[in-house]
């Protein structure tokens, strides 16, 4: 009876587990049926009473019920639903309170299925310090110190320009002197040139200074119309009190801000500040890219990466909540790649936070749709960069197994070619040791023996030249050779290796279109999953060979173009032009006539002619 008893107990255990899960699901559904139709926050817990997900809703019953509707589920949401053992709710007076409470609870519990907002890079902020006499500064560290932060901004030039604009309009301090009750004796240069009223010198101006700081903050928040109203009111008061000098200063500030607004209107028919969002996901990895557009200009982009088992719509909604409800730099419009369930509620909450109307838009056509597509492409590119990360040791083991090699490939060499209609044709060879680029062993080849557009023959020439020389010099041979392409490129490389009596070195080809691996002994290509370490390593080698070949090709093409342009100038022959080009690599920094004079055979007159030509071209 032993086997039958064991089988019976196994089936009985499965039945008990399934029954317990069923009872748990029934209890959760019963609780959902009794939820109020009011705004609030819901906390989902697992059987260990751990908070695994926190969300907010305008209607708690409707929102929580939607998770258990099969039509709205995807595979990732299914994992969340199967983990829920209990649901707890907090009822709030309104939707805004729900948003703020959700943000605070996520920070406290850090649930498994909620995103944690982290920049892929540490971008700088504009900071208005929390001091008696606040100052404006640039910083890369955001502290919980009561200061006001704008950003982060990916474009440092934009930050520097903005800080300069602020101090030009509102003479607030930038110096690092500590605020104190006792006045200082020696103000900094900004005081003397009218860029700061220096409250440290005259503490009695504290109320005036704080008014300036408040106006600067409103300006940075995009509430320029509110600033103009405030200044207009101040002008009236000063004129009434016969303080005409102050009234004139205020009028100058008023007109300067108005001129900025007019310039923005002239520059762009849509000079509003906008953030454009793109999203891409693969498996449990998701990337959100945010493109920042200010006064009609794109000033940069930021990317955020999340590794989490929820769908892209849910991730996007969480991102928008976390990012904009904790930011002081909120644009007029946020352009989205897809609809989200709580779009209207989020729009109200962000508008409330920023003190102005903020619109969330989902464009279907036109310029904004093109910008969203660009943001999505950037998100996809960032996602691919993350997916290309591989474990070198695991990759070598996987390659040995997948390609049926005698040993794990320690040295891999990759080839690619670059040409434009058979002109400036080059090839590259990159060398990876233990999965790491070994740049000192990279080689580039100017194609000598192939005419016209024939990539396969160019590849054969590069492979032959590389391994003939390595063989002659008795150099270290690779454990694996990779060529960019398909069956034709593979056969060409194998043919060369056989002629050199190097057929014992494995050769593979990697096709770009579907990332398929072609090998000597298989008719059909090998298709590995995208997250496989072996495939990621081969892709890294192939992409590096492609980059190296293209860089060399472009440099040759540009050098030839420059040579022909300078050679055409009266008084400058081909020999002088060649001297100029060969000396370029020794000039650090910008090219000047003085630098060119030092080149043998050029002199002052020819140097000036070359500079004039470069400037015109």
CATH number of the domain that residue 82 is part of: 3.40.1440.10
- Mean pLDDT over residues 259-269, rounded? 51
Top mean pLDDT of 140-144, 287-291, 383-387 is at: 287-291
Kindly report the number of other CB atoms within 10 A of residue 200's CB atom.
25
- Mean pLDDT over residues 488-493, rounded? 96
Domain co-membership, 496 together with 586:
no
Mean pLDDT across the chain: 81
Domain co-membership, 290 together with 144:
no
Give the closest residue to 82 by CA, choosing from 46, 35, 33: 46
Lowest mean pLDDT among 252-256, 474-478, 551-555: 252-256
Alpha carbon distance 290, 496 (integer Å): 48
Cα torsion through 322, 328, 333, 335, rounded to 10: -30
Give the closest residue to 276 by CA, choosing from 293, 264, 296: 293
Pairing of strands 507-511, 480-484: parallel
The confidence score (pLDDT) of residue 578 equals 67
The confidence score (pLDDT) of residue 466 equals 97
- Mean pLDDT over residues 393-419, rounded? 95
HSE, CB side, 13 Å, CA atoms: give it for residue 575. 3
pTM over 0.85: no
Pairing of strands 40-45, 51-57: antiparallel
Alpha carbon distance 44, 59 (integer Å): 16
Kindly report the number of other CB atoms within 10 A of residue 584's CB atom.
14
Alpha carbon distance 133, 177 (integer Å): 10
Lowest mean pLDDT among 157-171, 253-267, 291-305, 550-564: 253-267
Pairing of strands 333-335, 274-282: parallel
Can you give the residue range of the structural domain that contains 92?
Answer: 24-109
Domain co-membership, 87 together with 200:
no
In a domain, 114, yes or no: no
In a domain, 118, yes or no: no
Domain co-membership, 414 together with 510:
yes
In a domain, 14, yes or no: no
In a domain, 45, yes or no: yes
Give the closest residue to 569 by CA, choosing from 611, 539, 521, 537: 611
Domain co-membership, 332 together with 248:
no
Q: What percent of the chain has pLDDT over 90?
A: 25
Number of domains in the chain: 5
Q: What confidence category does residue 453 fall into, taking pLDDT thresholds of 50, 70 and 90?
A: confident
From 500, 531, 554, the end of a domain falls on: 554
CB-CB contact of 332 with 358 (8 Å): yes
Alpha carbon distance 247, 255 (integer Å): 12
Q: What are phi and psi of 411, to 5 degrees?
A: -110, 125
Instruction: Provide the 3-class DSSP secondary structure of residue 361.
Output: strand
Q: What confidence category does residue 235 fall into, taking pLDDT thresholds of 50, 70 and 90?
A: confident
Domain co-membership, 401 together with 380:
no
In tens, the pLDDT along 495-548 reads: 999 999 999 999 999 987 678 999 998 889 999 887 789 998 999 999 899 999
Kindly report the number of other CB atoms within 10 A of residue 14's CB atom.
10
Give the closest residue to 169 by CA, choosing from 264, 267, 252: 252
From 370, 387, 404, the end of a domain falls on: 387
The confidence score (pLDDT) of residue 587 equals 44
Domain co-membership, 405 together with 550:
yes
In a domain, 2, yes or no: no
Q: What confidence category does residue 452 fall into, taking pLDDT thresholds of 50, 70 and 90?
A: confident
Q: What confidence category does residue 76 fall into, taking pLDDT thresholds of 50, 70 and 90?
A: low
Domain co-membership, 547 together with 425:
yes
* Phi-psi region at 131: left, alpha or beta (left = phi > 0; alpha = psi -120 to 50): beta
Instruction: Choose between 338 and 95: higher pLDDT.
Output: 338
pLDDT surpasses 50 at 266: no
The confidence score (pLDDT) of residue 271 equals 58
Domain co-membership, 529 together with 490:
yes
Alpha carbon distance 440, 422 (integer Å): 28
In a domain, 16, yes or no: no
Alpha carbon distance 40, 175 (integer Å): 45
Alpha carbon distance 401, 417 (integer Å): 29
Residues 6+ apart with CB under 8 A from 439: 431
The confidence score (pLDDT) of residue 283 equals 67
Alpha carbon distance 499, 462 (integer Å): 14
In a domain, 43, yes or no: yes
pLDDT surpasses 70 at 158: yes
DSSP structure string for 553-586: HHHHHHHHHHHHHHHTSTT--HHHHHHHHHHHTT
pLDDT surpasses 60 at 589: no
Instruction: Choose between 442 and 585: higher pLDDT.
Output: 442
The confidence score (pLDDT) of residue 264 equals 47
Domain co-membership, 527 together with 398:
yes
Alpha carbon distance 165, 495 (integer Å): 66
The confidence score (pLDDT) of residue 410 equals 96
Domain co-membership, 467 together with 549:
yes
In tens, the pLDDT along 456-465 reads: 999 999 999 9
Instruction: Choose between 575 and 135: higher pLDDT.
Output: 135
pLDDT surpasses 50 at 167: yes
In a domain, 145, yes or no: yes
Domain co-membership, 529 together with 599:
no
Pairing of strands 297-307, 285-294: antiparallel
In tens, the pLDDT along 546-579 reads: 999 998 888 887 777 766 666 666 666 667 666 6
From 387, 418, 451, the end of a domain falls on: 387
Q: Residue 323's domain is classified under what CATH number?
A: 3.30.420.10
In tens, the pLDDT along 78-93 reads: 778 888 888 888 888 7
């Amino acid at each position: 009876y032993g086997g039958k008893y064991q089988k019976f107990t196994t089936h009985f255990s499965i039945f008990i587990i399934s029954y317990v899960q069923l009872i748990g699901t029934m209890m959760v559904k019963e609780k959902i049926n009794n939820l109020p139709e009011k705004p609030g926050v819901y906390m989902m817990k697992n059987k260990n009473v751990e908070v695994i997900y926190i969300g907010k809703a305008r209607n708690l019953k409707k929102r929580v019920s939607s998770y258990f509707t099969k039509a709205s589920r995807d595979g990732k949401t299914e994992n969340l639903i199967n983990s829920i053992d209990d649901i707890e709710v907090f009822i709030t007076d309104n939707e805004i309170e729900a948003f703020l409470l959700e943000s605070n609870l996520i920070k406290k519990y850090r649930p498994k299925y909620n995103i944690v907002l982290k920049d892929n890079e540490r971008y700088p902020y504009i900071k208005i310090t929390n001091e008696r006499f606040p100052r404006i500064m640039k910083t890369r560290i955001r502290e919980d110190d009561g200061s006001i932060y704008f950003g982060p901004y990916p474009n440092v030039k934009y930050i520097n320009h903005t800080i300069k604009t602020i101090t030009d309009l509102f003479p607030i301090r930038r110096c690092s002197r500590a605020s104190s009750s006792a006045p200082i004796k020696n103000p900094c240069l900004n005081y003397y040139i009218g860029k700061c009223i220096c409250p440290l010198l005259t503490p009695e101006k504290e109320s005036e200074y704080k008014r300036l700081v408040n106006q600067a903050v409103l300006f940075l928040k995009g509430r320029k119309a509110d600033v103009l109203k405030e200044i207009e009111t101040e002008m009236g008061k000063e004129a009434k009190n016969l303080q005409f000098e102050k009234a004139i200063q205020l009028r100058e500030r008023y007109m300067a801000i108005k001129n900025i607004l007019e310039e923005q209107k002239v520059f762009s028919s849509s000079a509003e500040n906008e953030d454009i969002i793109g999203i891409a996901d693969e498996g449990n990895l998701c990337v959100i890219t945010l493109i920042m557009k200010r006064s009609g200009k794109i000033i940069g982009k930021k990317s955020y990466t999340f590794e989490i088992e929820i769908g892209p719509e849910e991730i996007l909604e969480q991102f928008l909540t976390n990012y904009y409800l904790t930011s002081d730099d909120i644009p007029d419009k946020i352009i989205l790649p897809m609809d989200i369930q709580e779009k209207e509620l989020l729009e109200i909450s962000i508008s409330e936070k920023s003190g102005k109307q903020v619109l969330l838009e989902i464009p279907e056509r036109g310029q904004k749709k093109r910008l969203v597509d660009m943001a999505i492409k950037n998100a996809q590119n960032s996602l691919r960069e993350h997916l290309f990360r591989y474990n070198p040791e695991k990759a070598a083991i996987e390659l040995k197994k997948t390609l049926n090699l005698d040993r794990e490939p320690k040295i891999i060499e990759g080839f690619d070619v670059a040409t434009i209609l058979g002109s400036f044709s080059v090839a590259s060879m990159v060398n990876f040791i233990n999965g790491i680029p070994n740049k000192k062993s990279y080689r580039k080849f100017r194609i000598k023996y192939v005419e016209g557009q024939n990539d396969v023959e160019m590849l054969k020439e590069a492979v032959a030249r590389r391994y003939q020389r390595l063989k002659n010099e008795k150099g270290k041979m690779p454990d694996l050779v990779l060529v960019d392409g398909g069956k034709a490129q593979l056969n060409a490389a194998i043919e060369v290796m056989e002629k050199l009596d190097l057929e014992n070195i494995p050769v593979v080809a990697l096709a770009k279109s579907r990332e398929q691996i072609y090998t000597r002994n298989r008719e059909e290509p090998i298709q590995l999953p995208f997250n496989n370490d072996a495939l990621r390593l081969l892709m890294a080698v192939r992409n590096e060979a492609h980059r190296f070949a293209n860089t060399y090709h472009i440099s040759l093409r540009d050098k030839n173009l420059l040579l022909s342009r300078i050679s055409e100038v009266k008084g400058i022959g081909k020999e002088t032009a060649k001297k100029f080009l060969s000396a370029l690599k020794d000039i650090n920094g910008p090219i000047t006539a003085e630098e060119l004079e030092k080149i043998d055979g050029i002199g002052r007159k020819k140097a000036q002619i070359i500079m004039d030509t470069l400037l015109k071209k």
